[in-house]
Amino acid sequence: MRRAAEAGVIYDIGYQRYEGARLGRGYAFRTLFVHSLRQAWGLGRGGRALILPFLLLFLICMPAVIQMLVETVSQGEAKLLEYSTYFRYVQPLVLLFCAAQAPELVSTDQHHRVLPLYFSRPLRRGDYAGAKLLAMMATVWFLVLAPMALLFIGRMAAASDVGAALRGERGSALPVLASTLAIAAVMGSLSVALASFTSRRALGSAAIFGSVILTATVSAMLQAQGGKGPGYATLMSPLLVLAGVIRWLFDVQPTGPRGAPSPPNPVGGLGYAGMAASLVVLASLAIFARYSRVRA
């Protein structure tokens, strides 16, 4: 009896090997990307999670809706907002969106310690980082492109000759597309990079919001001193870099608080574009380096 007990018994309880389709790494990447998009907008997490992202989307689009109404009433004569100046008025709301939602994409997974499950297989560390980064960029791109689309629709609706209006707006299509992509790339990559280094959403939000505001404040203080040296201080602030890129793409000159031309800045359009690209590259490298150290 003792020898039989030590030997043990194997019972067949019906487990079978999985013989279905193995969808692989690409499917896992796409699934994580779509899931991250839903996370960014609070979808699938209850009604309370929807309030902040969609409220910010509503507030960001509100000036465009007002412009649509004004143009409709004035038959296209009154233009309160332009494509080139829209981001200037809504950039605090875009920053608040990034600070609130980027930690939801990356900090939450660290808090719940599910990263080893993601990296078990077939998803790799670079796939995870890339899916989160692209999802945040896509989210911000929609956030800033939506009001531009509303401005376009409003101008088409107020135009007496739609064909002529389309020809008039044709020159703005490429700058609008390029500027919104630049905003999405810079703000999306920086917010994910900062949030990826903490498992606490509050700390991630504070890091994103605080760093952008601090750099803008220091840059403004240095610019107030005048001269060429402080002119390069605009490169310190992501928001000012994006403002320079937008002016360059739309070929508009910077103006002062009362509409007067601002003094010339030694940083040209290509300088702002190069700095924006550098910020995206450095932030992306930081994200991939962060997740390359995570153990499966």
When pLDDT is cut at 50, 70 and 90, the band that residue 161 belongs to is confident
Residue 105 buriedness (CB in 10 A; 0-12 / 13-18 / 19+) = buried
Q: How confident is the model at residue 12 (pLDDT cuts 50, 70, 90)?
A: low
The mean pLDDT of the chain is 87
Q: Which DSSP letter does residue 233 get?
A: G
Structural domains of the chain, count: 1
Higher pLDDT, 267 or 187: 187
Q: How far is CA 44 from CA 41, 50, 112, 143, in A?
A: 9, 9, 18, 19
In a domain, residue 113? The reply is: yes
- For residue 224, pLDDT beyond 90: no
125 in any annotated domain: yes
Average pLDDT of the segment spanning 203-231: 84
Whether 165 contacts 240, CB under 8 Å: no
Weakest-pLDDT range from 14-18, 124-128, 289-293:
14-18
Q: For the residues 139-158, what does the mean pLDDT come to? A: 93
Residue 166 has pLDDT above 90, yes or no: no
Share of the chain above pLDDT 90, in %: 56
Count Cβ atoms within 10 A of the Cβ of residue 85 and give its class: 0-12 exposed, 13-18 middle, 19 or more buried. middle
pTM over 0.85: yes
- Quick one: pLDDT at residue 116? 85
Of 116, 63, 110, 115, nearest to 85 by C-alpha is 63
What integer pLDDT is reported at residue 81 of this predicted model?
87
Q: Is residue 7 part of a domain?
A: no
d(CA 255, CA 141) in angstroms, rounded, equals: 26
pLDDT at 102: 96
* DSSP code for 120: S
**Range of 262's domain?**
26-292
Is residue 207 situated within a structural domain?
yes
Structural domain includes residue 13: no
- 34-54 per-position pLDDT tens digit: 999 999 999 988 889 999 999
What does the longest C-alpha to C-alpha distance in the chain come to? 100
Residue 1 has pLDDT above 50, yes or no: no
Residue 189 has pLDDT above 60, yes or no: yes
pLDDT in tens, 73-112: 877 677 788 899 999 999 999 999 999 999 999 998 888 8
Distance, CA of 68 to CA of 72 (rounded, Å): 6
Average pLDDT for residues 5-28, to the nearest whole number?
Answer: 74
Position 19 in a domain: no
Predicted confidence at residue 107, as pLDDT, reads: 92
Please give the pLDDT value at position 123: 85
Q: How confident is the model at residue 85, as a pLDDT?
A: 92
For the stretch 243-267, pLDDT in tens is: 999 999 999 877 655 555 555 667 7
